[in-house]
Amino acid sequence: AQSVTQLGSHVSVSEGALVLLRCNYSSSVPPYLFWYVQYPNQGLQLLLKYTTGATLVKGINGFEAEFKKSETSFHLTKPSAHMSDAAEYFCAVTINAGKSTFGDGTTLTVKP
């Protein structure tokens, strides 16, 4: 079985500041890891994913995440927050072709 924990249900940063959204996972086998973003009144869209290979993955809108096996983490970062980044972010883990398990989400607020 797998599980995902997102630390911090709400994160607030100033425009231009570093964004760090935390995700830890539990999995008995090598996982596939994902970050999704959900803008208000919309469905979820993929930001980035880790399957195999390079542990630092880059996604859309300047986001990136690093898979750290030793820490069972897949934290999402962006060097400089923009107002348009305000949204809810979900971390997810999938094993092989099975069910995706999602975290509870982190709401990112960007202050001007």
Partner 1 sequence: GAGVSQSPSNKVTEKGKDVELRCDPISGHTALYWYRQSLGQGLEFLIYFQGNSAPDKSGLPSDRFSAERTGGSVSTLTIQRTQQEDSAVYLCASSSLTNTEAFFGQGTRLTVV
**CA–CA distance, 89 with 39 (Å, rounded to integer):** 9
Give the interface with partner 1 as residue ranges (CB under 8 A).
Answer: 32, 34, 36, 42-46, 49, 51, 90, 92, 94, 96-105
Of residues 17 and 107, the one with the C-beta less far from partner 1? 107
Smallest distance from the beta carbon of 80 to partner 1, in angstroms?
Answer: 26
State the Cα–Cα distance between residues 82 and 49, nearest whole angstrom: 21
Q: Which is nearer to partner 1, 16 or 103 (CB)?
A: 103
Closest CB to partner 1 among 58 and 82? 58
Nearer to partner 1, 13 or 37 (CB): 37
* Cα separations in angstroms, 16 against 47, 61, 62: 19, 14, 12
CA distances from 96 to 46, 74, 82, 89 (A): 18, 18, 34, 23
Q: Residue 54 Cβ, how far from partner 1 at the closest point, in Å?
A: 17
**Of 18, 25, 30, which is closest to residue 82 (Cα–Cα)?**
18
Q: Least distance to partner 1 from the beta carbon of 65, Å?
A: 14
